[in-house]
Amino acid sequence: MLQSCRQPGSAWKPMVYGAALAAGAITPGTALRDAPIAEYDEVTATHWKPRSGNRFRGVVLAQDAFAASLNAPAIDVFDRVGPGPVVALARRLGITTALAEVRPMALGASCVKPIELARAYATIARRGWAVAPHFAIRIRRGPAELFDATVPEDPWLDPARRIDRMAATAGRDPAERVAATGGRRLDERVAFQLIDMMAAVVARGTASAAATLGRPAAGKTGTTNDNTDAWFLGFTGRVLGAVWVGFDDPAHKLGPEGDGAHAAVPLWMQAVRAAEGSRPRTELPGPAPGGMERVAIDRETGLLAAPGTGGLSLWFPAGTAPTEITGQPGTSPTDFGRSSREF
């Protein structure tokens, strides 16, 4: 968890989508292209053709593409925002490993340390507030508290514990205490949108098995080529868990069902079910931050759903949702002017 560096596969996609959301390059309702992609690398004299299962949807909304872990739309998103913002976001969220600024990075080609990716996800789950990783945050034996590493500035503390920690850390340098929380690393509205997109992964996407947990959950699966690595990083309103499954020697593979959905999600469910116990459920993504609105979007066009037709309900920062209604004369449903380069 601390030293191993493994490719995250699609578990990297929150970095790509998060950077694009923050830059205004996409919204959860942006219509993306899901079509074959192939690229020739003149330096290595090799062809790069992302895996897709040989099934393409043509046009798919960003949130649906994220939930289904579609590769071509993720590359479309990467092309719209560029590698720089993706790397910058990863650094802010605590990723320190080398990141190759090439298109395959969109699909998790650069290796990461599991502990760092878990910290990045924790920051998203905490609506942009980072937290320094500890092997233990709080240890209790009966009524006696043996260890508590939290600080009063942590925005996720309940009022009673905040007062307790203020008393316990009264002699510490305030700057040191704030540094322990990591501060804000991601705009709350972007984090909220990512949480909603990750909840769709559990509700109807590649981690749908986790919906049987009996409480709201969100996360992202990841699988690398030939089922070498399987990931699931997910969270409830209270606890986050990161699961990586694989062999020390990448030459050994996990087998036909060794993907994130089949190898990692069940282990995550066991751990989180034990950690949550019988505690009350906490809703996800929870109350929306100020300046957000929920809008129904037509899945085929990316425009506002016509009245009475349903559509996919998505969150937008105020003023960024489409204004045209599907089916009205003169509407232009899909613009691929900045989409992926096709060969």
- Residue 9 DSSP class: G
pLDDT at 56 (0 to 100): 86
Under DSSP, is residue 332 helix (H, G, I), strand (E, B) or coil? coil
Retrieve residue 267's tokens: 């282990």
How much is the pTM? 0.84
For domain 9-129+188-220, the question of CATH label 3.40.710.10 is answered with: yes
List every span in the chain annotated with CATH 3.40.710.10.
9-129+188-220
Q: How far apart are CA 333 and CA 297, in angstroms?
A: 11
Which distant-in-sequence residues (6+ apart) come within 8 Å of 270 by Cβ? none
Cβ-in-10-Å burial (0-12, 13-18, 19+) of 40 comes to exposed
Asked if 289 contacts 192 with a C-beta cutoff of 8 angstroms, the reply is yes
Question: Where does the chain have alpha helices with state H?
Answer: 13-23, 62-68, 71-81, 83-92, 114-125, 159-168, 174-181, 188-204, 265-276
Q: How many CB atoms lie within 10 A of CB 285?
A: 21
Cβ-in-10-Å burial (0-12, 13-18, 19+) of 135 comes to exposed
Provide the CB-side half-sphere exposure for 134 (13 A, CA): 15
Burial 50-68 (b: 16+ CB within 10 A, else e): beeeeebbebbbbbbbbbb
Identify the CA nearest to 211 among candidates 282, 263, 265, 248. Answer: 265
pLDDT at 337 (0 to 100): 41
In a structure prediction context, what are the per-residue pLDDT tens digits for the chain, which is 343 residues long?
Answer: 567 899 999 999 999 999 999 999 999 999 999 998 887 766 667 777 887 766 888 899 999 999 999 999 999 999 999 999 999 999 999 999 999 999 999 999 999 999 999 999 999 999 999 987 766 556 566 666 555 556 555 666 667 666 665 655 556 665 555 555 568 899 999 999 999 999 999 999 999 999 999 999 999 999 999 999 999 999 999 899 999 999 999 899 999 999 999 999 999 999 999 999 888 889 999 999 999 999 999 998 999 999 988 899 999 999 999 999 988 755 554 544 444 443 3
Which distant-in-sequence residues (6+ apart) come within 8 Å of 82 by Cβ? none
Torsion angles phi and psi, residue 323, rounded to 5: -110, -20
Show the beta-strand stretches assigned E in 200-335. 218-223, 229-235, 240-246, 292-297, 312-317
Which distant-in-sequence residues (6+ apart) come within 8 Å of 264 by Cβ? 221, 222, 230, 231, 232, 243, 244, 245
Provide the CB-side half-sphere exposure for 61 (13 A, CA): 25
Retrieve residue 73's tokens: 């739309």
Asked if 297 contacts 8 with a C-beta cutoff of 8 angstroms, the reply is no
